[in-house]
Amino acid sequence: MPAIPSLGGLRGRGNGRAARAVTPPKPVPPSAYVVDCGVYVDGVRQPGPWTHAEAIREVRERGEGFVWIGLHQPDAEQIQGVADTFGLHELAVEDAVHAHQRPKLERYDDTLFMVFRTVRYVEHDSPTTANEIVESGELMAFLGTDFIITVRHGNHAGLANLRRELDADPERLAPGPASVLHAIADHVVDHFLEVTDKIEDDIDEMETEVFAPRTQVTSEQIYLMKREVLELRRAVSPLATPLRRLSEGYTRLVPDDVRSYFRNVHDHVTTVAERVASFDELLTTLVDATLAKITLQQSTDVRKITAWAAIIAVPTALAGIYGMNFDYMPELHSRYGYPMIIAVILIICLLLYRIFRKNRWL
């Protein structure tokens, strides 16, 4: 009986080409999306680099301290390891990955999930020529009893400077991870104040130009500013409710001595929200004023055209009458007919001009 060829031999034939092994994609190193990972005990950062698993293990073995992990734009696969280690809820993780959330505060078992909208002022030469004034991003925070995880989307509003500031002041971090959440909220609202001050300057400049005698500001430019103010308003106004809930004892994850600080941040964001609302009202007034000026200018132009048309009609009418070439027109044969008609035209035109000037039509 002939020998049965081996399976390996059959696999090697095919089209005469050896089968190619599929190379799995290389995983993205944690350093690409993990900005920082630190262990804090009594507000003091512990030395040494940590992975997220090592950090939380260290804290729980000690029975004190907390972990602060910063992530930057992780995808679902990258954040999954962190979510499994810290027991994060899948809905909150999905929101943190896909972003485009409004400011909110949600509670999942023993974890809080808070969303901030961050803003950055885009420098420009003039508010009437800028295409973008406010750039927005997002910042999410997972708060647990012994950890806080921040997820940032966008290329601004980084927390590196804030972390260095807190590392240098252990007393602020001593109350636990809730103090980090407060510092982040305060940091975000401080940026709101800076952007609001600069936008107020832009609106003042635009208001001055709108009421200038020969303004070049159009209603489209004011609408652009309204759109940028709306972008800021979407970041500021919804944040007031989460901050108020944190200041009123919404969760035991925020100690009593930290709640008063959230109340202070809530007061600040309320002030910013009121200012932003006033900006929107002022811009609406500027739009109305611009449209009114356009209408007034059009009315003025129509009156000027009408006045000049009336003045020009006088010589046109007289020239038309005496241009009909009838034989029986006594003035045609008069010695003083021509200068008399010219004088009549000038007198009537000057009289009409004076009347229109007196009534401010010219």
Q: What DSSP line would sit under 301-335, residue for residue?
A: HHHHHHHHHHHHHHHHHHHHHTTS--S--GGGG-T
Q: Cα separations (Å) of 213 from 49, 208, 290, 291, 318?
A: 64, 10, 12, 15, 39
Higher pLDDT, 362 or 57: 57
Task: Answer with the one of 294, 315, 345 that is the final residue of a domain.
Answer: 294
Q: Are residues 186 and 301 in the same domain?
A: no
Q: Are residues 51 and 103 in the same domain?
A: yes
Which range (1-15, 121-135, 164-178, 341-355) has the least confidence?
A: 1-15
The confidence band for 307, taking pLDDT boundaries of 50, 70 and 90, is: confident
For residue 16, what pLDDT is reported?
A: 41
Q: Are residues 144 and 157 in the same domain?
A: yes
Q: Domain containing 133 — which CATH number? A: 3.30.460.20
Question: Token pair for residue 254?
Answer: 């925020």
Instruction: Tell me whether residue 9 is in a domain.
Output: no
Q: Are residues 74 and 106 in the same domain?
A: yes
For residue 5, what pLDDT is reported?
A: 40
Q: What is the pTM of this model?
A: 0.75
What is the distance between the alpha carbons of residues 301 and 114, in angstroms, rounded to a whole number?
Answer: 57
Q: Cα separations (Å) of 63 from 175, 176, 256?
A: 15, 13, 21
The confidence band for 133, taking pLDDT boundaries of 50, 70 and 90, is: confident
Tens of pLDDT along 2-25?
A: 443 433 433 333 444 443 444 444
Instruction: Tell me whether residue 12 is in a domain.
Output: no
Evaluated on CA atoms 185, 191, 196, 199, the torsion sign reads negative
Distance of CA 193 to the CA centre of its chain: 14
65-81 mean pLDDT: 91
Instruction: Tell me whether residue 242 is in a domain.
Output: yes
Q: Are residues 221 and 341 in the same domain?
A: no
Helices of type H across 135-249? 160-167, 170-173, 177-210, 219-236, 240-247
**Cα-Cα end-to-end distance for the chain:** 119
Instruction: Tell me whether residue 5 is in a domain.
Output: no
Instruction: Tell me whether residue 3 is in a domain.
Output: no
For residue 13, what pLDDT is reported?
A: 39
Which candidate, 181, 151, 156, places its Cα nearest to that of 166?
A: 181
Q: Are residues 285 and 337 in the same domain?
A: no
Q: Report the number of distinct structural domains present in the chain.
A: 2
Q: Are residues 182 and 318 in the same domain?
A: no
For residue 337, what pLDDT is reported?
A: 77
Task: Answer with the one of 240, 272, 294 that is the final residue of a domain.
Answer: 294
Q: Are residues 319 and 170 in the same domain?
A: no
Task: Answer with the one of 278, 294, 310 that is the final residue of a domain.
Answer: 294
What is the distance between the alpha carbons of residues 49 and 242, in angstroms, rounded to a whole number?
Answer: 33
Q: Domain containing 340 — which CATH number? A: 1.20.58
> SS3 for 84-141, per residue?
HHHCCCHHHHHHHHHCCCCCEEEEECCEEEEEEEEEEECCCCCCCCCCCCEEEEEEEE
Q: Are residues 262 and 331 in the same domain?
A: no
Tens of pLDDT along 152-166?
A: 998 777 888 999 999
In whole numbers, what is the pLDDT of the chain averaged over residues?
84
The confidence band for 89, taking pLDDT boundaries of 50, 70 and 90, is: very high
Instruction: Tell me whether residue 229 is in a domain.
Output: yes
Q: One-letter amino acid identity for 137?
A: G
Instruction: Tell me whether residue 21 is in a domain.
Output: no
What is the distance between the alpha carbons of residues 95 and 349, in angstroms, rounded to a whole number?
Answer: 76
What is the distance between the alpha carbons of residues 283 and 18, in angstroms, rounded to a whole number?
Answer: 71
Q: One-letter amino acid identity for 356?
A: F
Q: What range does the domain containing 221 cover?
A: 30-294
Q: Is residue 50 classed as helix, strand or coil in its secondary structure?
A: coil
Q: Are residues 92 and 161 in the same domain?
A: yes
Q: One-letter amino acid identity for 132?
A: E
56-85 mean pLDDT: 92
Q: Are residues 310 and 257 in the same domain?
A: no
For residue 162, what pLDDT is reported?
A: 92
Instruction: Tell me whether residue 24 is in a domain.
Output: no
Sheet holding 147-153: strands in order across?
44-45, 34-41, 66-72, 147-153, 134-143, 111-121, 104-108
19-46 mean pLDDT: 69
Q: Are residues 316 and 175 in the same domain?
A: no
Evaluated on CA atoms 221, 223, 226, 227, the torsion sign reads negative
